[in-house]
Amino acid sequence: MTKYIFTLGGVVSSLGKGIASATLGALLQARGYKVRMRKMDPYLNLDPGTMSPYQHGEVFVTEDGAETDLDLGHYERFANISCHKTDSISGGRIYHNVLTKERRGDYLGGTVQMIPHVTNEVKAFLESDLTDEDFVLYEVGGTVGDIEGTIFLEAVRQFMNEKGRKNCCVVYLTLLPFIETAGELKTKPTQQAVKRLMEAGIQADVLLCRSKIALGEDERKKLALFCNVPSQNVVAALDVDNVYGLPISYHEQGLDTSVLSYFDMPSDVDLSKWKQIVNTMNHFQKNVQIAVVGKYCHLPDTYKSLKEALVHAGISENTKVDIDWIESDLLEGKSTKEVAKALEKYQGILVPGGFGNRGVEGKITAVQYARENKIPFFGICLGMQMAVVECMRHLCGVKDANSTEFTSDCTPVITRMSVWEKDGIKTIRPEKGDMGGTMRLGAYPCVLKKGSLAEKLYGTKQISERHRHRYEMDINYESVLAEKGVVISGKSPDGLLPEIIEIPEHPFFFAGQFHPEFKSKPFAAHPVFQGFIRAALKKASE
């Protein structure tokens, strides 16, 4: 029978619930169990697609085209699974569903209330689309006590009561602050957070305590006594400097053992592959320096999957990838000499995805520098669009080439997509339609050109990658670019949408309209990231 695990957070936010949940998923998987991982976000947006990275960090896109929280990226990377649309829900979506049903007359004659209508909608999500999973792990975003999260906690309480408490385990992530002057870890905030959770009718079963230092027996006993958990279920979540070390660390501290003994399901664990990558990462033999020229560079979460994909490629090449995040607008209005000074120390330049006007000219400058100086270049989504604009401007002489996302006063080489096809179905987007959920989203097939770099990297003729964009290169410029040695090496199967451009004469110049970073895994680096790092290593050895 399926077991349900809820990861909740207390005391403060940003304790890493997503990573903790993903780590537990990985540990259960390392014991041979089938896991499913899900996230509930209490905010009122229908999904994070309309939020700025400043608010939310990266928007992670699933295969089936859901715009979700970046924690789903952790789940996919740690547990090596592919999440679905049905694995992520927001408070807004729950209320939206309830109100849609109300208008349709589903509750005709009744008063629509938080309990049971809203809680039933949450419970329907908890149980939807499950197959034969051994464990389903649910993370509730935010901190216990947040007003928006109340309805989710109430639904979880009801759900656990219905499923039988012994089939449901609550892992509560809290913080044990270390008070320097007293030289000790403080348990009181955790005690109070546990009480707060009990006000919602939920008893924590395992306490996962974020802590700078190891827990002493005293603290463990105290927490067990005050918080009503067996002392072996008080687990220290120690700070680590490498997230891929977490499965080993949490296992050593007893997280998976506690959860499985709660369910009375003892089993063996095989962590050899985790030990192997940690060992590789502790003894990298080579290193390269990569510049990511983007827009939200001071926020580490904005390019989460991208950063991890570079790390994965580094692991596969036994190489430490040093990443410098460069705000693209800093390259604007600079002389060639100044641009060279900013970029000359890098063996690879990557221009990632993005939205909006600010900094785009700086991205074009970065592409130009990489192209002219034969520095390995990798463009992703907006990065590809800017590569097309750069080549059109500086190779093909179309000085006002641009994307209509930024100006209408230009030669429009990148234009808004109004119609495209998926699985034989046409999607049409009117000019003044909604902004939320209307991009080209999720996995689409792409056919690769024979003999191209793309085909060499992927080792196949047709690929599938995840998209999230509103604009696309106009295919009519294909021959103009081809004359100057810029090749469209990947297209949608109907041949209408350019998906990849490359320059065969350049050591490595690859740009794709999709986001390959979403599919990279620590144990299976993405082939394009791998190729990029290999090219950077070659550059480093020159």
Burial 382-415 (b: 16+ CB within 10 A, else e): bbbbbbbbbbbbbbbebeebbbebbeeebebbbe
Residue 469 known to be catalytic: no
* Listed ranges 37-45, 159-167, 348-356, 449-457: which one lies at the site for ligand GLN (CB under 6 A): 348-356
Judge whether 391 counts as a catalytic residue. Answer: no
- The two three-digit tokens of residue 382, written as one number: 């907006």
CB of 70 to ligand GLN, least distance (A): 14
Supply the minimum distance, in Å, between the C-beta of residue 472 and ligand GLN. Answer: 7
Tokens (6 digits) for 355? 């939205």
Name the active-site residue from 227, 381, 391, 446.
381
Positions 172 through 231 that interact with ligand GLN (CB under 6 A) = none
Return d(Cα 287, Cα 319) in angstroms, integer.
5
Strand partners, 206: 171
Contacts with ligand GLN, 372-411, as mask; x by CB under 6 A = ---------xx----------------------x------
Stretch that binds ligand GLN, among 103-111, 347-355, 357-365, 421-429 (CB under 6 A): 347-355
Q: Which of residues 152-171 bind ligand GLN (CB under 6 A)?
A: none
Shortest CB 474 distance to ligand GLN, Å: 13
Nearer to ligand GLN, 247 or 359 (CB): 359
Return the residues of window 43-102 that contact ligand GLN according to CB under 6 A.
none
Residue with tokens 């600079």: 334
Among residue numbers 446 through 505, which ones bind ligand GLN (CB under 6 A)? 468-471
> Which of these, 357, 331, 371, 323, lies nearest to 503 by C-alpha position?
371
Please state the closest distance from residue 60 (CB atom) to ligand GLN, in A.
12
User: Which CB, 224 or 417, lies closer to ligand GLN?
Assistant: 417
Q: And the tokens for 349? A: 């330049």
The distance of closest approach from Cβ of residue 305 to ligand GLN in the complex, given in angstroms and rounded to an integer, is 12
Residue nearest to ligand GLN according to CB distances in the complex? 353
> Closer CB to ligand GLN, residue 96 or residue 470?
470
In whole angstroms, give the CA distance from residue 518 to residue 516. 5
State how far the Cα of 234 lies from the Cα of 241, in Å rounded to an integer: 22
* 3 vs 363, beta carbon nearer ligand GLN: 363
Based on the residue annotation, tell me whether 410 is a catalytic residue of this protein: no
Q: How far is the CB of 331 from ligand GLN (least distance, A)?
A: 18
CB 48 within 8 A of CB 59: yes
Least separation in angstroms between CB 347 and ligand GLN = 24
CA distances from residue 455 to 351, 461, 488 in whole angstroms, order as listed: 21, 6, 12
- Residues 57 and 46: their CA atoms lie apart, in Å, by 16
CA 63 from centre of chain: 12
Per DSSP, the three-state class of 10 is coil
Residue 36 has phi, psi (to 5 degrees) of: -130, 140
Whether the Cβ atoms of residue 512 and residue 306 lie closer than 8 Å to each other = no
3-state secondary structure of 321: strand
Does residue 354 bind ligand GLN (CB under 6 A)?
yes
Of residues 38 and 393, the one with the C-beta less far from ligand GLN: 393
Catalytic residue among 117, 469, 506, 515: 515
3-class DSSP state of 209:
strand
Which residues of this protein are in contact with ligand GLN, per CB under 6 A?
A: 353-355, 381-382, 405, 468-471
Residues annotated as part of the active site: 381, 515, 517
